[in-house]
Amino acid sequence: MKHISSTQNTIVKELILLQSKAKTRKEKLQFVVEGKRELLLAHLGQYQIQTIFWCAEIFDESQFTLWQKQFEQDVEIISVSLAVYQKLVVRDSTEGVVGIVRQKSNSLGSWQPKRKHPLLLVLESIEKPGNLGAILRTAEAGAIDAVIITEQHTDLHNPNVIRSSVGGFFSVPVFVSSNEEANTFLAKNNIHIYAASLQKSIDYTKADYTKPTAFVLGSEAKGLSPFWYQKNITSVKIPMLGHVDSLNVSVATAILSYEALRQRNS
């Protein structure tokens, strides 16, 4: 097993670049995952884990050996010193393992919903990685069939997205597309579109989400673009009873998703 003790090692520098630069992640089609639970969820989500960096000073060797057997695939293991490990990770609380994982294709074209009445989220121009991760966490908890990111503004594989999703990133299908491609896909699959907006909208509890449904939500700063104000799209609003005029996009997503679940289970 290879061991790295210097923070100036070329492999260490490459992983730090992968952790910090979207351009590097895009070029290499890789991303970084920290933690025992997250790496196992990545494996269960059929992501290819290519390399695991392991710090014996944090994660006991006998326990690591037992944990590693769950992967059932060939993974390169590199042991690292505590100083190197602390250089590699972003999280404040670490568990002694960080991995390099192969990205999946995020093309929408080849995917088809498995359920007769799917529930989808369409996220236009979401800017903050933490919000995107929180939405993926909600999507996993709320049995969302897929998340479609349109007019992409933040890197899907940003470490803050992975961390904020608390594992939801690995179990919910996520696709990246243009607005036009997403709209065509929804129309082709007869999925009714509900745009979260205050303009010419109805109360979100008055719409019927028991049929195939997609919620469309816009960026934190600007909301939805005019593209989503079309005759075949219903605008819905969440009442704002205080002095602020909008909710955080991840909170709004949760409210809409669970209203759909309530209707479908009632």
Asked if residue 89 is part of any domain, the answer here is yes
187 and 162 co-located in one domain: yes
In this predicted structure, what is the pLDDT of residue 71? 85
Half-sphere exposure in the Cβ direction for 265 (13 Å, CA): 8
pLDDT, tens digit (0-9, with 9 covering 90-100), for 119-131:
999 999 999 999 9
Does residue 248 share a domain with residue 126?
Answer: yes
Please indicate, yes or no, whether residues 220 and 150 belong to a single structural domain of this protein. Answer: yes
pLDDT score of 93 more than 80: no
Together in a domain, 97 and 148: no
Considering the domain boundaries, does residue 108 fall inside one? no
Please tell me whether the overall predicted TM-score, pTM, comes out greater than 0.85 for this model. yes
pLDDT in tens, 213-246: 999 999 888 899 999 998 899 999 999 888 887 8
Q: For residue 236, is it within any domain?
A: yes
As a whole number, mean pLDDT of residues 96-110 equals: 93
Within this chain, do residues 173 and 227 fall inside the same structural domain, yes or no? Answer: yes
With a cut of 90, say whether residue 4 has pLDDT above it.
yes
Domain end, chosen from 71, 102, 133, is at 102
User: In this predicted model, what pLDDT tens digit does every residue of 16-36 receive, in sequence order?
Assistant: 999 999 999 999 999 999 999
pLDDT above 70 covers what percent of the chain?
99
Query: The CATH number of the domain where 207 resides is what?
Result: 3.40.1280.10
Q: Where among 73, 102, 131 does a domain terminate? A: 102
- Does 35 share its domain with 147? no
Q: Which domain holds residue 79?
A: 2-102
The model's confidence at residue 252, banded by pLDDT at 50, 70 and 90, is very high
Q: Does residue 261 belong to any structural domain of this protein?
A: yes
Is residue 162 included in any domain, yes or no? yes
pLDDT at residue number 246: 81
Looking at the domain assignment, is residue 114 inside a domain? Answer: no
Q: How many domains are contained in the chain?
A: 2
Q: What is the mean pLDDT of residues 31-47?
A: 95
- Mark whether 149 and 258 lie in a shared domain: yes
pLDDT given for residue 220 in this prediction: 82
Is residue 98 assigned to a domain? Answer: yes
